[in-house]
């Protein structure tokens, strides 16, 4: 019975999405070969941005909530195969050693991101499963992790604008944001007048299977076009100057 109700909910969400966004594609890339993302995000995005990469447009990829340097990574393919520069951001300090070992060319920064500089409390699920750290959250406990124990620690929080200014980054090819429900706070910490970002891929499934409109309305107000939805996970936005 539960599976039937869940199937019906997905169908209803899909109908609502289609009525509201008739021109937005829903894509389901394969995960294969030298691609590393959880749901084929890097395969799809590298194709979408191929002309920009070939023309030499800003080579930076910003990986917010990066977690493991290779497993389920949206930035690894861009760095390894397409030679993009990576700024990887995650509040779990322990990942620094792993990033230095596996991806020494990337700039790993151990911090949370938000719309102001402050100190925040990070909840980290305990356990040995490889995906546990992916469900770490600021503030509320993440229901996706299930009924497990959490440890807590205070971590610094800065704005993405401050990191980009510090690294003198003015053009960005791709920003990937996966911070378990706090994506809007990260977006509000970007100074869109000081940096040009061509593409965003943002996890947007915290409120329903096909995402909420908060992120979409905000980025549209900044000049971005909602071009596609990757399954039940991520929204993809391109700056309107890149959309024919």
Predicted pLDDT at 127 = 65
For residue 52, the SS3 value is helix
Residue 45 per-residue DSSP state: H
38 part of a folded domain: yes
Q: What is the pTM of this model?
A: 0.90
Domain count along the chain: 1
63 part of a folded domain: yes
CA distances from 195 to 10, 50, 162, 218, 222 (A): 37, 21, 11, 16, 12
69 part of a folded domain: yes
Q: Average pLDDT, stretch 184-197?
A: 97
Task: Tell which wins on pLDDT, 54 or 217.
Answer: 217
85 part of a folded domain: yes
Instruction: Give me the domain span that covers residue 205.
Output: 21-115+159-242
Residue 27's DSSP bridge partners are 230
Confirm if 149 and 135 have CB atoms less than 8 A apart. no
57 part of a folded domain: yes
Q: pLDDT confidence of 130, banded at 50, 70, 90?
A: very low
Place of tokens 């970007």: 190
Show the DSSP H helices in 67-204 as ranges.
Answer: 76-80, 95-102, 160-166, 183-188
Helix (H) or strand (E) holding 214: helix 214-221
């Amino acid at each position: 019975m539960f599976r039937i109700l869940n199937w019906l909910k997905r169908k209803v969400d899909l109908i609502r999405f289609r009525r509201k966004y008739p021109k937005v594609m829903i894509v389901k890339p394969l995960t294969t070969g030298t691609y590393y993302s959880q749901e084929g995000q890097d395969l799809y995005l590298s194709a979408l941005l191929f002309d920009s990469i070939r023309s030499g447009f800003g080579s930076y990829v910003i990986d917010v909530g990066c977690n493991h340097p290779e497993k389920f990574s949206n930035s690894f393919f861009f760095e390894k195969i397409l030679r993009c520069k990576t700024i990887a951001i995650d509040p779990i300090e322990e990942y620094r050693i792993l990033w230095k070992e596996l991806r020494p060319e990337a700039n790993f920064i151990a911090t949370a991101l938000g719309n102001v500089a402050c100190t925040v409390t990070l909840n980290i699920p305990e356990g040995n499963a490889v995906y546990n750290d992916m469900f770490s959250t600021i503030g509320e406990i993440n229901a996706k992790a299930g009924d497990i124990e959490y440890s807590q620690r205070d971590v610094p929080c800065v704005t993405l604008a401050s990191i980009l200014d510090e690294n003198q980054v003015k053009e960005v090819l791709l920003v990937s944001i996966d911070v378990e429900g706090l994506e809007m706070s990260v977006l509000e910490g970007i100074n869109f007048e000081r940096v040009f970002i061509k593409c965003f891929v943002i996890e947007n499934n915290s409120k329903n299977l096909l995402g909420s409109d908060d992120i979409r309305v905000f980025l549209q107000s900044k000049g971005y076009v909602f071009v596609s939805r990757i399954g039940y996970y991520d929204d993809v936005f391109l700056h309107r100057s890149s959309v024919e």
